[in-house]
């Protein structure tokens, strides 16, 4: 099917003749994004021009016609949802549709909705300038035309500019040269030819088996081996088809709020919690589904923990060894350096099998680098080989290549290329400061290439169109993000990237495949659903982070959009779905049982050298303790640790993962001591036990494996309260002399009058009402002003040991911890104060469950080490 003759020349919109040189909106690109935009703009009555460099619709599926090109997302999910009739009118022939079929689909949609008449084909945009006086863009095209417009949308795709092959002598070769991303429309016949393929990414992995079927000789030049799973192509997955039949709307809604744009079941099992054999059995089930995302979704920690990822990676290598007969070739094809999923895994049909064919050879460029391309072939290692054709499957200048290939000049004459020299700074991946009314579809900073593109495209098109409709309705002419919002988006994107393994790998996701490109994670990895919620929230909060101007009006609603750590937010979201009863509605006995049950489900934390359980004399009877000894040779400094639990629940073993982490990271003995709990034993029982335990440890430090005099206290939450109180008591009692106090989100003030108690009253696990419940069980109101309950209220805070105080942004206790740090500092005590951005009261204790806690724990461990230095 070809586009109708005479397309792209319509000058009518909603019955009015529209000027073609001055329009409301110019869209660049007529791939799936440009097509849907055109439909929405037309329906909304905007005058528009859609400019497309190719001579047909389809975007990536128009250009990428190499043999074997297929979509790696199932056809049940990779299709438009905005026209429900399409589901009846179009039937896909297989699970992973091939390029010709997807292009036919694009053409079918374009014809059905008369999109051809709204597109100017074979027109490139060379230059675009913002005019701050007229509040319009001027768009200069390859045909010599200049179009002015209010809004300018780059719908140019993420993988549309092939990377220049950075190999010596590429211009010299006299044989046939092909680039997978610019394949000849008429196809290529390799029959009887000697062919070289350079690259082993998705494009190569799909095309190599088919090129091998024709070529008389095929040499594949591999720099980095890739993970690839078989597509097992055939009919669409039955379980998806059935769900769609039963309730398409629900399925699509789930996709839109899912992490990837495809309904999935989120994993809850750690790869490190099951035996290797079981892990492989689970992976086998996922592998057999032939769906790209499945193997990465078997374990909850494959994307965040290298050891967990290695389980998946080794499974994949096993699969390669099962197929490839020559063990040396199998090993060269086995990825070992990059974690699974940090480069996009590939989907293939007979890729690894191809290397068993006698006329196919694999060259490992790490041991035999290409020296140069010559007139007749390729010189590599100590060989020289003649070829009839070279296929470059060397990838793309991804995400930003197509956007900055147009010379876009914004306010104050700054070009986008210049602005993005050090990273593609943007707000929501949609807009960027200094370039009003410029929008990107699936740009850097949006989920784009880490998602089902169809879902992301539709969401972006809807957000942009709804925004400019809103602006028209309210009389605004311009929209531009604020620098603060853009910076907050950068920080949020970095927070998301920091908890994954992506940054370990040199990939095109990281810009690492193009020399000189800044090294950042280009796509947003926080997930499609979270991203959609954020974009929606921006609009419902009056365009948070944007300045809107027009008709003499100016609206600025500045502020950060997401400060909470992404993994913490995920835990909160997950807990919200569980509908758990509030702890303060329980009896202390039930609360203790609940706390123990929750602890049983968490990761255990790192191994330490030795764990010894014992009993020590407390102020009112024996107390249990647990000693964590490092694996290094002792003696070691000793830290007496007090657990959290609001003085009501918890025990010497309840903070086990945190104690293990502190022991191994700080190379100190941690002695976690129990204390009597309320309401059975109210104030000051816990405080008295805390001091008694410290004294006993100090007296027995040598026999415990410690260094005499090298002793400190630490505690979390109510345990932080006991640690702070114990430090004051030890000072007043003339010993034991402490080297330091580590207080993690401590309770310091029973008055609870600080703003954080209101600001973070609910929604962050420790609530204002739970804190009240704790205090009511622990101490009478008259006792709460006693410094043994509220160490902040002590008259004298001088001569206390150096402190490390950690407070968390979304903790009701934040301000009382901050106040204690300030007060100690004012009293001359050396204080390190870590204000953990985006954290909640509990998150830093969640070892191996929340990667964002690693940084704060490293700082805590460094502080402990520093106490004893």
Residue 316 tokens, joined: 């994949």
Residue 467 tokens, joined: 């925004």
DSSP string, 385-426: EE-SEEEE---B-TTTHHHHTSEEE-GGG-BHHHHGGG----
> Which is it for strands 146-154 and 22-28: parallel, antiparallel or unpaired?
parallel
Q: Is 393 in the site for ligand NAP (CB under 6 A)?
A: yes
Name which position in 201, 434, 657, 736 contacts ligand NAP (CB under 6 A). 201
Q: Is 335 in the site for ligand NAP (CB under 6 A)?
A: no
What one-character DSSP code corresponds to residue 265? P
- Position of minimal CB gap to ligand NAP: 201
- Pick 206 or 426: Cβ nearer ligand NAP: 206
Structural contact between residues 827 and 800, judged by C-beta atoms closer than 8 angstroms = yes
To ligand NAP, the closest distance from the beta carbon of 213 in angstroms equals 18
Residue 662 tokens, joined: 């502190």
Structural contact between residues 290 and 231, judged by C-beta atoms closer than 8 angstroms = yes
To ligand NAP, the closest distance from the beta carbon of 6 in angstroms equals 33
> Contact region for ligand NAP (CB under 6 A) — 203-211, 629-637, 765-773, 845-853?
203-211
- Pick 33 or 770: Cβ nearer ligand NAP: 33
To ligand NAP, the closest distance from the beta carbon of 319 in angstroms equals 18
Helix runs in 58-161, H state only: 60-63, 85-89, 99-112
To ligand NAP, the closest distance from the beta carbon of 170 in angstroms equals 9
DSSP string, 164-210: PP--TTTTT--SEEEEGGG--TT----TT-EEEEE--SHHHHHHHHH
Structural contact between residues 556 and 547, judged by C-beta atoms closer than 8 angstroms = yes
What one-character DSSP code corresponds to residue 792? G
Name which position in 29, 199, 296, 856 contacts ligand NAP (CB under 6 A). 199
Kindly write out the interface string for residues 212-251 of this chain, putting x where it contacts ligand NAP by CB under 6 A and - elsewhere: ---------x-xx---------------------------
Centroid of chain to Cα 573: 16
Q: Is 206 in the site for ligand NAP (CB under 6 A)?
A: yes
Q: Is 395 in the site for ligand NAP (CB under 6 A)?
A: yes
Structural contact between residues 687 and 779, judged by C-beta atoms closer than 8 angstroms = no
To ligand NAP, the closest distance from the beta carbon of 203 in angstroms equals 3
Q: Is 70 in the site for ligand NAP (CB under 6 A)?
A: yes
- How many other CB atoms are there within 10 angstroms of residue 167's CB atom? 17
- Pick 165 or 560: Cβ nearer ligand NAP: 165
Kindly write out the interface string for residues 412-451 of this chain, putting x where it contacts ligand NAP by CB under 6 A and - elsewhere: -------------------------------------x--
Centroid of chain to Cα 760: 25
125 forms beta bridges with: 141
What one-character DSSP code corresponds to residue 343? S
542 forms beta bridges with: none
To ligand NAP, the closest distance from the beta carbon of 226 in angstroms equals 7
Residue whose pair of structure tokens reads 């250009």 in the numeric block: 63
Q: Is 456 in the site for ligand NAP (CB under 6 A)?
A: no
> Contact region for ligand NAP (CB under 6 A) — 163-171, 329-337, 520-528, 680-688?
163-171
- Pick 272 or 365: Cβ nearer ligand NAP: 365
Q: Is 71 in the site for ligand NAP (CB under 6 A)?
A: yes
130 forms beta bridges with: 137
613 forms beta bridges with: 626
Task: Kindly give the interhelix angle for 306-323 and 276-288, rounded to the nearest 10 degrees.
Answer: 60
Q: Is 698 in the site for ligand NAP (CB under 6 A)?
A: no
Say whether 566 sits in a helix, a strand or coil. Answer: helix
Q: Is 95 in the site for ligand NAP (CB under 6 A)?
A: no
Name which position in 61, 287, 439, 508 contacts ligand NAP (CB under 6 A). 508
CA distance 450 to 523: 7
CA distance 443 to 90: 29
Residue 681 tokens, joined: 């034993």
To ligand NAP, the closest distance from the beta carbon of 199 in angstroms equals 3
82-to-37, 86, 109, 113, 244 alpha-carbon distances in Å: 11, 9, 11, 12, 15
Q: Is 164 in the site for ligand NAP (CB under 6 A)?
A: no
- How many other CB atoms are there within 10 angstroms of residue 22's CB atom? 15
Name which position in 203, 342, 500, 595 contacts ligand NAP (CB under 6 A). 203
Residue 113 tokens, joined: 């909705």
Q: Is 618 in the site for ligand NAP (CB under 6 A)?
A: no
Q: Is 38 in the site for ligand NAP (CB under 6 A)?
A: no
Say whether 855 sits in a helix, a strand or coil. Answer: helix
To ligand NAP, the closest distance from the beta carbon of 102 in angstroms equals 10
Residue 231 tokens, joined: 């597509």
Q: Is 394 in the site for ligand NAP (CB under 6 A)?
A: yes
- Pick 393 or 648: Cβ nearer ligand NAP: 393
CA distance 649 to 645: 5
> Contact region for ligand NAP (CB under 6 A) — 158-166, 254-262, 307-315, 585-593?
158-166
To ligand NAP, the closest distance from the beta carbon of 84 in angstroms equals 25
To ligand NAP, the closest distance from the beta carbon of 399 in angstroms equals 11
CA distance 713 to 107: 70
To ligand NAP, the closest distance from the beta carbon of 259 in angstroms equals 17
What one-character DSSP code corresponds to residue 165? P
- Pick 92 or 435: Cβ nearer ligand NAP: 92
Q: Is 476 in the site for ligand NAP (CB under 6 A)?
A: no
Q: Is 525 in the site for ligand NAP (CB under 6 A)?
A: no
To ligand NAP, the closest distance from the beta carbon of 201 in angstroms equals 2
User: What are residue 375's phi and psi, to 5 degrees?
Assistant: -60, -35
Name which position in 164, 166, 247, 680 contacts ligand NAP (CB under 6 A). 166
Q: Is 344 in the site for ligand NAP (CB under 6 A)?
A: yes
Q: Which strand (E) or helix (H) includes residue 502?
A: none
> Contact region for ligand NAP (CB under 6 A) — 303-311, 392-400, 495-503, 774-782?
392-400
Where does residue 551 rank: exposed (0-12), middle (13-18), buried (19+ CB within 10 A)?
A: exposed
Kindly write out the interface string for residues 273-312 of this chain, putting x where it contacts ligand NAP by CB under 6 A and - elsewhere: ----------------------------------------
Structural contact between residues 313 and 281, judged by C-beta atoms closer than 8 angstroms = no
CA atoms within 13 A on the CB side of 557: 11
To ligand NAP, the closest distance from the beta carbon of 287 in angstroms equals 17
> Contact region for ligand NAP (CB under 6 A) — 169-177, 317-325, 391-399, 425-433?
391-399
Name which position in 177, 272, 365, 819 contacts ligand NAP (CB under 6 A). 365
To ligand NAP, the closest distance from the beta carbon of 444 in angstroms equals 14
744 forms beta bridges with: 716, 806
- Pick 513 or 745: Cβ nearer ligand NAP: 513
List contacts with ligand NAP (CB under 6 A). Answer: 70-72, 159, 165-167, 180, 198-204, 206, 221, 223-224, 344, 347, 365, 393-396, 449, 508, 513
């Amino acid at each position: 099917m070809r586009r109708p003759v005479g397309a792209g020349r319509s000058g009518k919109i909603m019955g009015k003749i529209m000027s073609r040189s001055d329009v409301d909106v110019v869209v660049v690109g007529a791939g799936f994004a440009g097509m849907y935009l055109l439909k929405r703009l037309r329906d909304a009555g905007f005058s528009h021009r859609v400019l497309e460099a190719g001579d047909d619709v389809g975007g990536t599926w128009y250009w990428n016609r190499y043999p074997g090109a297929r979509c790696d997302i199932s056809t049940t999910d990779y299709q438009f949802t905005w026209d429900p009739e399409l589901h009846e009118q179009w039937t896909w022939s297989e699970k992973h549709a091939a390029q010709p079929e997807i292009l036919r689909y694009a053409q079918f949609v374009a014809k059905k909705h008369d999109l051809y008449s709204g597109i100017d084909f074979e027109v490139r945009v060379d230059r675009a300038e913002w005019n701050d006086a007229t509040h319009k863009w001027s768009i200069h095209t390859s045909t010599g035309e200049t179009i002015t417009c209010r809004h300018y949308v780059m719908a140019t795709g993420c993988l549309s500019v092939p990377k220049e092959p950075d190999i010596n002598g590429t211009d010299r070769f006299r044989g046939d040269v092909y680039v997978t991303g610019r394949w000849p429309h008429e196809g290529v016949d390799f029959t009887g030819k000697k062919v070289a393929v350079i690259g082993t990414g998705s494009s190569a992995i799909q095309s190599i088996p088919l090129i091998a079927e024709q070529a008389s000789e095929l040499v594949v030049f591999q720099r980095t081996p890739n993970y690839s799973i078989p597509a097992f192509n055939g009919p669409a997955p039955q379980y998806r088809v059935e769900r769609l039949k039963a309730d398409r709307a629900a399925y699509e809604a789930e996709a839109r709020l899912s992490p990837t744009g495809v309904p999935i079941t989120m994993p809850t099992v750690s790869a490190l919690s099951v035996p290797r054999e079981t892990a492989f059995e689970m992976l086998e089930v996922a592998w057999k589904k032939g769906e790209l995302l499945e193997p990465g979704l078997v374990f909850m920690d494959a994307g965040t923990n290298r050891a967990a990822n290695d389980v998946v990676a080794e499974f994949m290598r096993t699969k390669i060894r099962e197929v490839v007969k020559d063990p040396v070739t199998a090993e060269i094809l086995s990825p070992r350096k990059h974690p699974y999923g940090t480069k996009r895994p590939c989907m293939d049909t007979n890729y690894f099998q191809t290397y068993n064919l006698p006329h196919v050879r694999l060259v490992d460029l790490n041991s035999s680098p290409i020296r140069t391309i010559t007139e007749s072939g390729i010189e590599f290692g100590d060989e020289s080989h003649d070829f009839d054709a070279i296929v470059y499957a060397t990838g793309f200048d991804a995400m930003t290549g197509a956007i900055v290939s147009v010379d876009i000049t914004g306010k104050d004459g700054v070009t986008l290329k210049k602005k993005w020299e050090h990273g593609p700074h943007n707000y929501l991946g949609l807009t960027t400061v200094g370039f009003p009314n410029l929008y990107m579809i699936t740009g850097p900073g949006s989920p784009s290439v880490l998602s089902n593109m169809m879902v992301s495209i539709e969401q972006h098109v809807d957000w942009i169109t709804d925004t400019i409709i809103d602006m028209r309705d309210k009389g605004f002419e311009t929209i531009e993000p604020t620098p603060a919002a853009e910076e907050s988006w950068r920080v949020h994107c970095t927070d998301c990237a920091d908890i994954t393994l992506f940054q370990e790998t040199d990939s095109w996701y990281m810009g690492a495949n193009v020399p000189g490109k800044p090294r950042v994670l280009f796509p947003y990895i926080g997930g499609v659903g979270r991203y959609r919620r954020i974009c929606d929230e921006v609009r419902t909060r009056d365009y948070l982070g944007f300045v809107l101007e027009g008709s003499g009006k100016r609206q600025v609603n500045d502020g950060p959009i997401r400060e909470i750590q992404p993994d913490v937010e995920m835990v909160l979201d997950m807990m919200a779905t569980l509908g758990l009863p509030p702890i303060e509605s329980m009896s202390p006995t039930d609360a203790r049982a609940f706390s123990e049950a929750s602890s049983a489900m968490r990761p255990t934390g790192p191994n330490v050298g030795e764990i010894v359980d014992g009993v020590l004399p407390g102020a009112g009877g024996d107390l249990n303790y647990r000693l964590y000894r490092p694996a290094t040779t002792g003696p070691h400094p000793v830290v007496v640790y007090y657990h959290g639990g609001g003085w009501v629940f918890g025990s010497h073993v309840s903070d086990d993962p945190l104690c293990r982490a502190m022991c191994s990271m700080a190379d100190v003995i941690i002695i976690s001591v129990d204390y009597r709990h309320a309401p059975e034993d109210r104030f000051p029982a816990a405080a008295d036990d805390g001091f008694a335990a410290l004294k006993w440890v100090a007296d027995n430090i040598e026999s415990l494996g410690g260094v005499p005099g090298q002793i400190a206290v630490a505690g979390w939450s109510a345990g932080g309260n006991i640690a702070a109180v114990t430090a004051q008591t030890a000072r007043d009692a003339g010993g034991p002399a402490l080297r330091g106090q580590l207080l993690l989100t401590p309770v310091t003030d029973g008055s609870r009058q600080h703003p954080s108690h209101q600001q973070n009253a609910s929604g962050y696990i420790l609530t204002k009402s739970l804190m009240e419940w704790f205090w009511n069980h622990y101490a009478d109101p008259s006792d709460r002003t006693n410094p043994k309950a509220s160490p902040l209220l002590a008259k004298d805070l001088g001569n206390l040991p150096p402190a490390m105080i950690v407070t968390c942004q979304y903790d009701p206790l934040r301000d009382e911890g901050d106040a204690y740090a300030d007060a100690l500092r004012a009293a001359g005590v050396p204080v390190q104060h870590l204000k953990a951005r985006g954290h909640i009261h509990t998150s830093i204790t969640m070892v191996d469950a929340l990667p964002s806690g690693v940084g704060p724990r490293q700082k805590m461990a460094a502080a402990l080490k520093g106490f004893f230095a």
